[in-house]
Structure 1
Amino acid sequence: MPSNEVMEWVKTIGSLLCSLPVMILLALVIFRKPLRKLIDQFAGTDVKRAKIGPVEIERELGNLAKEGKQAVETMNRLNVLMAESRLLELEITEGMFGSVFSPSQRQQMKEQINELRKLTYKATEGESGEGKNPK
């Protein structure tokens, strides 16, 4: 084999070996035991810290989950409140100005009112267990 062909093979294989995916795969193979230990530590319910050499990671998943749940509940309540406000607006509009709208517009408004009643009923039923009866 001529030396030119050998150099081409070395260049090709060298660039493949130094590519990012290969380096990541190599690092995963080399550090599989410490990485598995870190994952196992974080999977445990009581452990809040994991340490590998000089790197120490602390988790506060309990507080984070609690804050996330509170944020979701607040957003849900805000959405229900906005839907109830919009329902009230539509009911007032229907009562005061319903005769001004065309029959198709009145029908569309009634459909929206009924749909909002159903949705707000479902949402508030889940909160209190009773909810408001849709008309």
Structure 2
Amino acid sequence: LFCWMSQERTSYVSSMINRSIDEMAIHNGVVLTSDNKKNIFAAIEKKFPDIKLDEKSAQTSISHTALNEIASSGLRAKILKRYSSDMDLFNTQMKDLTNLVSSSVYDKIFNESTKVLQIEISAEVLKAVYRQSNTN
């Protein structure tokens, strides 16, 4: 169990960083360089030295399980029926719901708030976007 928790914490926080980088790139039309991404991970590791990070991490078992539970409960089908005319909105709703459920599960398992992590991650990503935008 401890091994899974350690791996999941690494995956979860790393995927939060990668998701934030992707969202920021879409909203600002900036694709961060590899060096800027590494700097973001290094800054988060410095602020949270007890969290190991993996730049390649994309999806966590908590998020995967949340998505499966949403599907098996019938909620996914209800959301699809409601938003079938707008698949972008459907995908956004599913992503938001999955993130909400998985954040809640993470908070309970690890007894720490993902909100604090997300604030720090967003700040570092914004700094990287700003730095890169001003060097181009």
Taking structure 1 as the reference length, what is the TM-score of the superposition?
A: 0.27
More strand per residue: 1
Higher relative contact order (CA 8 A, sep 6+): 2
